[in-house]
Structure 1
């Protein structure tokens, strides 16, 4: 492990290794050794140890297959991670990692569900894992189960240091992610009765918002063999991803931060405009079309885009309902949409519908609901969104009933199961307060129209899924 300035990352997934670690690799290539930055990566969950264990065995080295839409590939060795630890096995490692003045920032990727937020953006203090972590931190012993418990351990360590100021940068597809994490974590430490930590944080910790973008699918099983064949090296944990990358981060740092603007990262005070365009055009399109593809038996997302009917549905959704309701435009949105369609069609990435479709119940209010709401506010009925939302409901209903075989993963699946257990499942879905946040009560005509669309969609798949 080097003595250079350091970043720490919570959540060792393919996206982090193809995005934040990739950018740091590019930056280090431009800097003299003494000025370089390196990552300490930390696994937080005992069910995700396989890749961190392999990465640790390789001293953090791995290869990134970066693929263009025409199939042109680069094989890039990533060497910006030089320490890998597993806090799920030993939470005391957090103190050892963060008790180091060379550590300047923490970056985080845990997905939307990992923030445990209610529809009012408050921390769900009633969640059993959150209440467990509050007890662990209050008592000063035990094994955390959530981001908040581990973050509390990290910041308590920093509080004890003379030079403990640190930036905490979440890099997930959550609107206003830094602000929302700061608010929720503040509620966590209040519940844990850590008033001294709260006071210290106000002067020593910042939570910048960020927007991140790169498609990094689950790598194929034979990627290690391909790396061996092409490069002659063994790699048990390579990754793959598209040749597009973007990182926009709020210029709001508690202390030193790597000069990533040298390699194309945008530092700005207007992250929200970039974020809104990306989440609603890219993530929203990814989300909605994945369930139609699943119902049609497709395996990868590029199959959706090659289906002329689905491509047209997505075009209608983007051009008629999303782009007209994005009012702060940091770039040409139609040009951006065209780039996204090209990225979606990359058959060499072969991004699995299974990966994109997971965690839908927590994603819907982030990716889709704002577009629906803004269209209703302008007295426009979002018919394309309605058609696609109906397919989402149909997907859930058929999967839960066992009629659609699909490896669907969602920590909130019990919520959808609750809809299906009601006498009128569609009505239960349309009344769910966390999913709709009162929208169907405020616009009853929309809810009634969507219910009709859902019934029609279910009828369309009756023969295929008897």
Structure 2
């Protein structure tokens, strides 16, 4: 291993390689070799082993096709990852990696569902995978299955070191993500009786909040050949993404952190303002429009934006219901919305609706519910959201009943199946406290309006998909 300072990342997906590793490459390009930072990336789940296996064969090096809305592209060779590990079958890898004074921080991208949150933002200790990991840690043997089990092993290793202080930076699309991770991770540790580790963390670890943004779709089948043509290099695991990037991170680090502010990363004490705008305008719009597009037979999200009706629906949602209820504004929100629409319309990215639509049951309370609540609190009926939510429900009904073929993935799909098995499925949906957090009970007129819209939408599509 080199003598350079190091970050570790949990979750080796395209987004990490097009975002955190990309920024680290930008930084290294400005520094002499002895000041470079490098990533060790660790795979945690067996079903995601293919990419890290290919990446390891290339010593962590790969190409990133960075595409502008006009189709022009640059092929960036990213070399900031120089160690690839797989802990999905051998958790001892964790201790080996973290027992290194050069490791200063860990970054995390495991998606929203990987935090196992309840509707009260607590850890779902009843979930079988969480219960499994509690047992693994208590017995000090076995193979973890979740972020919390692996993170515990990492931080136990740091606790034993003389200079083990470390920053734990989640980069997933959760509001107040650093504080929420810290909260549920402490709950996990309390359930394993590791109170001494909690005390150590209070003094030696920080959990900064962050906001990240870049669209990194599933690479096209032709990307490997494109990289070969443009660079002359055989690359079996290239990625692609838009030419927009943003990383806002709380200025709260336990020890040395790479000076990423020199390459465009925003350090601030008010991440909330940035994340609120991004999650509600970008992620919320992505979420709601994806199910309408899916039911209309669209494959990529730019097709939604080129549909005049859907473009107008999204505009109404943004301008009438989202932007008026964002009160802490770090920048011009209408200008931001226009940038997002431009990004959404990038046909050269060809971001798949399949990718955007997955994991909807855990995303809904994060991306959509706050907008609904704030509008209802101001006595405004969110009619655009109601129309779009009805399509989400309709999409789930038709997909679960096998009347609409779509490769939909969601670890919480059983929740939706329970609605459909109820004598009154729409009512079961509207009464689900994990989805609505009591909102439909507080605002019965909203609940009735949504129920009526759902039925109208179902009537249309049940004829199309009998």
TM-score by length of 2: 1.00
1:169 match: 169
Contact 1:45 1:145 in 2 (8 A): yes
CA distance in 2, matches of 1:339, 1:22: 21
* Aligned: 1:41 with 2:41: yes
CA distance in 1, matches of 2:238, 2:462: 42
What SS is found at the alignment partner of 1:463? helix
1:368-418 CA deviation, whole Å, 9 max, x = no partner?
Answer: 000000000000000000000000000000000111000000000000000
Q: Which runs of 5+ in 1 are unaligned?
A: none
* Cα displacement (A) at 1:226: 1.1
1:312 match: 312
Contact 1:422 1:428 in 2 (8 A): yes
2:461 match: 461
1:234-257 CA deviation, whole Å, 9 max, x = no partner?
Answer: 001000000000000000000000
1:162-199 CA deviation, whole Å, 9 max, x = no partner?
Answer: 00000000001011000000000000000000011011
1:235 match: 235
* Aligned: 1:380 with 2:380: yes
What SS is found at the alignment partner of 1:162? coil
1:297-339 CA deviation, whole Å, 9 max, x = no partner?
Answer: 0000000000000000000000000000000000000000000
What SS is found at the alignment partner of 2:218? coil
1:130-154 CA deviation, whole Å, 9 max, x = no partner?
Answer: 0100110111111000000000000
What SS is found at the alignment partner of 1:348? coil
Contact 1:63 1:76 in 2 (8 A): yes
* Aligned: 1:281 with 2:274: no
CA distance in 2, matches of 1:255, 1:336: 34
1:9-32 CA deviation, whole Å, 9 max, x = no partner?
Answer: 000000000000000000001111
Contact 1:104 1:165 in 2 (8 A): yes
CA distance in 2, matches of 1:439, 1:242: 36
Q: Which runs of 5+ in 2 are unaligned?
A: none
What SS is found at the alignment partner of 2:74? strand
CA distance in 1, matches of 2:63, 2:463: 46
* Cα displacement (A) at 1:228: 1.0
* Cα displacement (A) at 1:34: 1.0
TM-score by length of 1: 1.00
CA distance in 2, matches of 1:275, 1:242: 19
2:334 match: 334
CA distance in 2, matches of 1:175, 1:421: 32
2:214 match: 214
CA distance in 2, matches of 1:42, 1:335: 38
What is the 5 A alignment of 1:16-55? 16-55=16-55
RMSD of aligned C-alpha atoms? 0.5
* Aligned: 1:351 with 2:354: no
CA distance in 2, matches of 1:118, 1:450: 24
2:362 match: 362
* Cα displacement (A) at 1:233: 0.7
CA distance in 1, matches of 2:383, 2:26: 44
* Cα displacement (A) at 1:47: 0.4
What is the 5 A alignment of 1:153-302? 153-302=153-302
1:123 match: 123
* Cα displacement (A) at 1:463: 2.2
CA distance in 1, matches of 2:3, 2:236: 27
* Aligned: 1:142 with 2:142: yes
* Cα displacement (A) at 1:222: 1.5
What SS is found at the alignment partner of 2:423? coil
CA distance in 1, matches of 2:336, 2:152: 39
CA distance in 2, matches of 1:275, 1:25: 24
What SS is found at the alignment partner of 1:208? coil
* Aligned: 1:12 with 2:18: no
CA distance in 1, matches of 2:453, 2:181: 36
What number of residue pairs does the alignment pair up?
A: 466
CA distance in 2, matches of 1:190, 1:46: 27
Contact 1:2 1:82 in 2 (8 A): no
2:62 match: 62
What SS is found at the alignment partner of 1:291? helix
1:265-320 CA deviation, whole Å, 9 max, x = no partner?
Answer: 00000000000000000000000000000000000000000000000000000000
User: Deviation above 4 Å: which 4+ runs of structure 1?
Assistant: none
* Aligned: 1:432 with 2:445: no
What SS is found at the alignment partner of 1:42? strand
What SS is found at the alignment partner of 2:462? coil
CA distance in 2, matches of 1:187, 1:313: 41
CA distance in 2, matches of 1:176, 1:85: 29
